[in-house]
Chains A and B, each alone.
Chain A
Amino acid sequence: MKLVTYSVDGRQSVGFLVKDQVCDLGKAAKAFKFDIDSGADLVSVAKNEYRDILGKIEEAAQTSLEDDWCVPLSKAKLHAPYRPRQNILIAGGNTRDEFVPQRMRNGKPMLRYHTKAPSAVIGPGDEISWPRQLTTEVHAEPHLAVVIGETASYVEPSEVMNKVFGFTVATNVVAQDLKRKHGQWDKAVSLDTFMPWGPVVVTADEVDVAELACRLWLNERMAISGGAESGLLKTAEVLSELSFGMVLHPGDVVLTGTAESVGHGEVPERWLQDGDVVQSAIEGVVQITNPVSTY
């Protein structure tokens, strides 16, 4: 199922995509007599306990789209899926890039886990924006964003993907000079507007993570490209490691690392600037485009 948070005529609700239509989940559930509280954004249904019921609603909708709960996608405004209830986790340095050496523990690289404040969340089309006097070295990375659907605590890699609700794309916007300035990275990735993500969350049953490609285009030129699992640790290894000691709850979001670093590895360095357009995608699944504007 492909879920979105969307609005028509200013009224926001949770929807799912069927062909070129977006369907109101709450109204569809009611029409087909399913009991689900769809809330105002999709975090309320991003729970594995709803897997079966969501599947049934989608199946029923395939054959009977009704005008009173479906609109053409072109008439709907799509938003960020939701604002997570705690910071977004980022598997920093999950790359084979030689610029980011990792320490090892028990034969495994120790990734640079850091976080992004949920106040940074924006949706498709929204401006990525920052004060020019604060930072001049902003770059963007495409990430696979994992939406947790079920409480996960001490879960082995072989089991942990069962705790995932779905996937989407996030653009991890980073002020590279603020990373150096503050030493710890959380502030450098948490400026307002630095978390474009979504809009479509695709449920885990529809994709095979190993097959996914993660890409970023800067002004329609492909700048970053690679497998979503081309990093040092696979998605399941990242989630499992985090779950050992750090409980994950439904709605928590993990960015599992970018394919290849860009910007600070290039000579000459190319930082984002006014008028740029950034597009990130999980190829064939979801993409998000945001213009850049400084102030």
Chain B
Amino acid sequence: MYLATIKNAAEIIPAFTFGTSVVSIHAAAKALGHSFASPLPATLLEVIEAGPDVWEELEEFYDSLRGSELPGEGRQAWWWNSDEVSFEPPIIPRKNPWVVGANYYQHLANGFARIPRPAIAPPHVEYFTKAVNSIVGHDADIVYDKRVTRTVDFELELAVVIGKYGKDVPVADAYDWVFGYTIANDMSARELQLGHQQYHRGKSLDGFCPLGPVIATTRETGDPNRLRMRQWVNGELKQDWPVGDMIYKIDKLIEVLSEGMTIEPGEVIICGTVPGVGFEQLPQSWLQHGDVLEAEISRIGMLRNTIKMAGIS
């Protein structure tokens, strides 16, 4: 199933999506007289935290709607076209999303082309975090202030959403911990990222973690390593690469992250970017006011955001 969190008439609610159709889960259940074994939680994060029994019930309800007809009389209150609602981030996790640096060899090689040393894969997984406060949803503006940064860059990445608690998760079983996948743009203020050496601040400016628009459960994506990711800036294709080309694959990322540290339902792991970002270009190029980012991963969807500079209307 495809899950979103939407804002409709100032109310923030969990929703199903079917292509361009968006359905309020609670309102649809009520209108159709569909009941769940226990009351469905109010937020998508709480649905994920509620565990596999609840997910299965929800998936059955999703499937019962999947084949049904498009909006008819009486459905206007809970069935919309995606351009009639606004998308919030699908979840706001209870700790910072983890991000993996330098996880695609060609991105690494391009990025350090100008430095007179061979690009080598990092000897271990490089995890940093993006602030929960920096998470925004589909179609949100990403507003930067030139007093803070003038080197805003994009990084399309697959985001893994964890479904259950785990510690010291064995690599062989790691995919059992995945609830689903979504799309992240790991926005980066390069002079802060590199100047502070620890990446957190350069990666966590307000609006720098666009997430969504939907979470696709593992049933919908199949093997995530077979997906393809593409990003356009103002309609020009900038990134186009197979998801599965990671140096450290998703199962390894989960195993290593959970060493000595409990991973939790709703925890987000963002898996690293693919070649084509502005940092790699000769000369390097940075995003400007008005630039439109369209970040797509097959079988998940497309995340669109617009860059704005503070002080320009």
Contact = CB atoms under 8 A, between A and B. Distances in A.
A219 interface: no
A192 B201 contact: no
Interface string A89-119: 1001000000000010100001111110111
A119 B167 CA distance: 12
A267 B197 CA distance: 26
Contact of B145 (A130, A154, A182): A154
B96 A247 contact: no
Interface residues of B, number: 43
A27 interface: no
B144 to A, nearest CB: 8
A23 B225 CA distance: 56
B257 to A, nearest CB: 7
Contacts of B198: 92, 112-114, 184-186
B200 A119 contact: no
B199 A184 contact: yes
Interface residues of A, number: 43
Given A87-B95, A105-B195, A246 B201 contact: yes
B249 interface: no
B205 A246 contact: yes
Contacts, number: 120
A286 interface: no
A121 to B, nearest CB: 10
A113 B192 CA distance: 10
A244 interface: yes
A87 B195 contact: no
B122 A86 contact: no
Interface string B200-233: 1100111000000000000000000000000000
A131 B95 contact: no
Contact of B125 (A119, A131, A182, A246): A182
Interface in A242-273: 242, 244-249, 252
Given A86-B96, A185-B198, A242-B201, A249 B133 contact: yes
A92 B192 CA distance: 14
The listed residue with most B CB atoms (<10 A of its CB), out of A245, A246, A248, is A245
Contacts of A190: 261
Interface in A54-79: none
B262 interface: yes
Given A103-B195, A187-B261, A249-B133, A244 B200 contact: no
A292 interface: no
B96 A245 contact: no
B101 to A, nearest CB: 6
B298 to A, nearest CB: 29
Majority secondary structure of chain A interface residues (helix, strand, loop or mixed): loop
Given A184-B128, A245-B149, A115 B96 contact: yes
Contact of A115 (B125, B129, B257): B129
Contact of A246 (B98, B123, B129, B204): B204
B148 interface: yes
A114 B193 CA distance: 11
A28 to B, nearest CB: 30
B289 interface: no
A191 interface: yes
B145 A244 contact: yes
Interface string A113-154: 111011110000000001100110000000000000000011
B81 to A, nearest CB: 32
Nearest to B93: A86
Interface string A157-187: 0000000000000000001000001111111
Contacts of A85: 94, 132
A184 B149 contact: no
B148 A245 contact: yes
Contacts of B94: 83, 85, 118
Nearest to A130: B260
Contacts of A249: 133
B147 interface: yes
Contacts of B189: 245
Given A134-B259, A182-B127, A187-B257, A86 B132 contact: yes
A103 B197 contact: yes
A252 B122 CA distance: 32
B134 A110 contact: no
B195 A110 contact: yes
Nearest to B264: A119
28 contacts: A83-B94, A85-B94, A89-B200, A111-B196, A112-B198, A113-B198, A114-B198, A115-B96, A117-B96, A117-B261, A120-B261, A134-B259, A153-B206, A175-B260, A182-B124, A182-B126, A182-B127, A183-B101, A184-B199, A186-B98, A187-B261, A190-B261, A245-B144, A245-B145, A245-B148, A246-B201, A247-B133, A247-B206
The 5 closest A-B pairs by CB, nearest first: A86-B132, A245-B148, A87-B96, A184-B128, A112-B198
Interface of A: 83, 85-87, 89, 92, 103, 105, 110-115, 117-120, 130-131, 134-135, 153-154, 175, 181-187, 190-192, 242, 244-249, 252
Given A186-B198, A246-B134, 13 more contacts: A86-B133, A87-B131, A105-B191, A113-B200, A113-B201, A117-B261, A118-B94, A182-B126, A182-B127, A183-B101, A184-B127, A187-B98, A246-B131
